[in-house]
Amino acid sequence: MVSWPASVSVALLITALCSGCMTTTSSAFSRARAAGVANFVDFPMRAAKCERADFGTYSAPELRELATLYPFQSRAEISAEEGGRLSCGFDRPEEYCSWTTSGVNGGGFQKARFETFFDFEKFDCTSERSFAFDEYFLLAGGEEGVMQTAVLEVEVPCQLGTSTVQFDYWSNSESATVKACTVAGSGGDPSCAELSLEPNPLMFEVPQNIAPFKIRIEVANLTPDNIVLIDNVAFKGQICEVVPEESEIERIGASTVPLLPTTIPSFVSSTTNFVQIPEPAESGAHPTLVSSVPTSRSPLLQQPIVDDSAIHQEVDSDAVLENDFDLTEPANDFEICDSLQCNFNANDACFYNPTGLGSTSEWRLGNGHLGNRHTGVRQNPNDPSNGGFLYVGKEHFDQSGDVFVLESVKFGLREPVVLVFDVYQRSYGPRLKVCLNTFDNCPYTNPPIRASEWWFRDQEVIVEKSAQKVYFVADKISANLYLAIDNLRLRSAADNRPLCSRAR
């Protein structure tokens, strides 16, 4: 047990999920991960296999030589405050990941993929840790020279409630040390706790901080003889931004404050701690909730994004304000498409936050048929290719008192657009509203149910030029009742032409 001073108050939780085994092809790894079995290992079988002389092991330089290496950003293309992702799988060219890398006596992490001949069985025998390959990953170590430290970090403008960070980690030896750190401001000293190497994913907690800070994953003691891989970094929490007291948001008035509960999920903490980053004194700044961009391309389609067993922490609603509307340049059509269009078929919620401002429960990803045959969700005939959608509702679990808020990133418009989407409803009771900027401006409410129609296709909301946020707000979800949305797309309000040429 790590001993910490009395001032320590930031909790670090290291847990493990046992879920999959290694196979011999990259596609098999992806299938295993999608089935939720990415880290289960049959140790006796692997031990017997690895005792055979024909398998052997890889050295760190061999692994580095076999990997095709690509640069990984030392500066975020889009910051978390601007809507970049805090959860990254490193697989998509336009992932807009906000994590960056740096290094001591080296270049830090590089993006990598095994694109040539590679023996997965031999790799499996190289280390006792398992690692589910899914296209690209991050790599450090295995280089000649002095001992290195590789850093992966992200700048967080402000965080309400406790967040968790988890990631997959692999090393060919245990000589490298893995630390989770927080760094106050831009030049503060890091406060770190070493992670024990439990089965993947490694996980730690970061408490509420309403001052800008960094979350850091640090791998130290990297020698030429060891190499580390990291993948599937997932952030679960609510970020915010600090708005000056005299800003435009103060002049907008109290009408912009959402009249919804402001309970923010907080995960159970453990006994290993960071030093708390001090919150600012009476400096005339307030935290403002912004989108915590969808956490990851999680393959667990029908699992809650936040654990139902989580403890909830109340947040002072007086401190919860709308976003600063100070956009200097409206976004172009491509950026608007990235911001608002989504068909939920890529196993994520695109740039929407499923636990948006005011949520007491989360929207969840679903696929195909879900729930009971009478009131459950059925596949959308308007989207037969994959069948992904976002939904609320549970069997045998009353959520009629919960509020589900799906929140867009902040965007800008040069002209009004029409947001088009499909809604699934099969029962009386569930209510859906679409709100623009505030929860007092909700031009859309779901229509009455019809016995012959379950998916209500091509629902429309005119998004005026002044809009900068869209909220899908659902409530009155009793036990065994469901509501779902799908195929969010954009049309021009002037001539009804489609604005986005590609599906997301």
135: pLDDT strictly greater than 80? yes
Q: Which two tokens stand for residue 8?
A: 């320590």
* 243 or 94, higher pLDDT: 94
Instruction: Give the count of alpha carbons within 13 A of 47, CB side only.
Output: 3
Mean pLDDT of 187-197: 88
CATH number of the domain located at residue range(s) 8-237 in this protein: 2.60.120.200
| Sign, CA torsion 377/441/252/78 | positive
Q: What is the pLDDT of residue 396?
A: 74
pLDDT band at residue 311, thresholds of 50, 70 and 90? very low
Q: How far apart are CA 249 and CA 255, in angstroms?
A: 11
pLDDT band at residue 384, thresholds of 50, 70 and 90? low
45: pLDDT strictly greater than 70? no
Tens of pLDDT, residues 286-297: 444 443 433 333
pLDDT band at residue 216, thresholds of 50, 70 and 90? very high
184: pLDDT strictly greater than 80? yes
Q: How far apart are CA 292 and CA 290, in angstroms?
A: 6
Q: What is the pLDDT of residue 332?
A: 42
Q: How far apart are CA 361 and CA 34, in angstroms?
A: 24
pLDDT band at residue 103, thresholds of 50, 70 and 90? confident
**Of 193, 157, 51, which is closest to residue 410 (Cα–Cα)?**
157
Mean pLDDT of 464-473: 95
34-48, 93-107, 229-243, 314-328, range with the lowest pLDDT: 314-328
Q: What is the pLDDT of residue 58?
A: 87
Q: How far apart are CA 290 and CA 81, in angstroms?
A: 8
Q: How far apart are CA 161 and CA 206, in angstroms?
A: 9
**Of 39, 63, 51, which is closest to residue 226 (Cα–Cα)?**
63
For residue 263, how far is the Cα from the chain centroid? 19
86-90, 131-135, 176-180, 424-428, range with the lowest pLDDT: 131-135
Q: How far apart are CA 89 and CA 87, in angstroms?
A: 7
Provide the whole-model pTM: 0.51
Q: How far apart are CA 296 and CA 349, in angstroms?
A: 9
Query: Where are the CATH 2.60.120.200 domain residues in the chain?
Result: 8-237, 327-504
Mean pLDDT of 198-224: 91
- Contact (CB, 8 A) for 468 and 459: no
**What is the average pLDDT value for the chain, to the nearest integer?**
73
472: pLDDT strictly greater than 80? yes
Q: Which two tokens stand for residue 464?
A: 């005026």
Q: What is the pLDDT of residue 208?
A: 87
301: pLDDT strictly greater than 70? no
Residues whose CB falls within 8 Å of the CB of residue 187, separated by 6 or more in sequence, listed in order: none
Q: What is the pLDDT of residue 269?
A: 28
Q: How far apart are CA 398 and CA 426, in angstroms?
A: 17
283: pLDDT strictly greater than 50? no
Tens of pLDDT, residues 332-369: 444 888 899 998 888 888 999 999 888 889 999 988 77
117: pLDDT strictly greater than 60? yes
* 281 or 83, higher pLDDT: 83
Q: If DSSP states are collapsed to H, E and C, what string results for 63-100?
A: HHHHCEEECCCCCCCCCCCCCCECCECCCCCCCCECCE
Q: Which residues of 423-445 are buried (b: 16+ CB within 10 A; e: fewer)?
A: bbbbeeebebbbbbbbbeeeebe
pLDDT band at residue 406, thresholds of 50, 70 and 90? very high
454: pLDDT strictly greater than 80? yes
Q: How far apart are CA 198 and CA 469, in angstroms?
A: 40
Q: Which two tokens stand for residue 181?
A: 């750190």
Output the CA–CA distances (angstroms, integers) from residue 82 to 227, 239, 260, 339, 411, in the order listed. Answer: 33, 11, 24, 11, 10
Q: What is the pLDDT of residue 163?
A: 92
448: pLDDT strictly greater than 70? yes
pLDDT band at residue 466, thresholds of 50, 70 and 90? very high
* 64 or 145, higher pLDDT: 64
210: pLDDT strictly greater than 90? no
Q: What is the residue-wise DSSP string for 355-422?
A: T-TT-SB--EEEESSBS-TTTSB---TT-TTT-EEEEE--TT--EEEEEEEEEPPP---SS-EEEEEE
Q: What is the pLDDT of residue 94?
A: 75
67: pLDDT strictly greater than 70? yes
Residues whose CB falls within 8 Å of the CB of residue 498, separated by 6 or more in sequence, listed in order: 489, 490, 491, 492
Residues whose CB falls within 8 Å of the CB of residue 23, separated by 6 or more in sequence, listed in order: 29, 32, 120
**Of 330, 390, 328, 393, which is closest to residue 364 (Cα–Cα)?**
390
pLDDT band at residue 169, thresholds of 50, 70 and 90? very high
Tens of pLDDT, residues 259-278: 333 333 322 222 233 434 44
Helix (H) or strand (E) holding 493: none
CATH number of the domain located at residue range(s) 327-504 in this protein: 2.60.120.200
107: pLDDT strictly greater than 50? yes
57: pLDDT strictly greater than 60? yes
pLDDT band at residue 52, thresholds of 50, 70 and 90? low
Tens of pLDDT, residues 20-40: 333 333 333 333 333 333 344
Q: How far apart are CA 435 and CA 416, in angstroms?
A: 15
Q: What is the pLDDT of residue 121?
A: 82
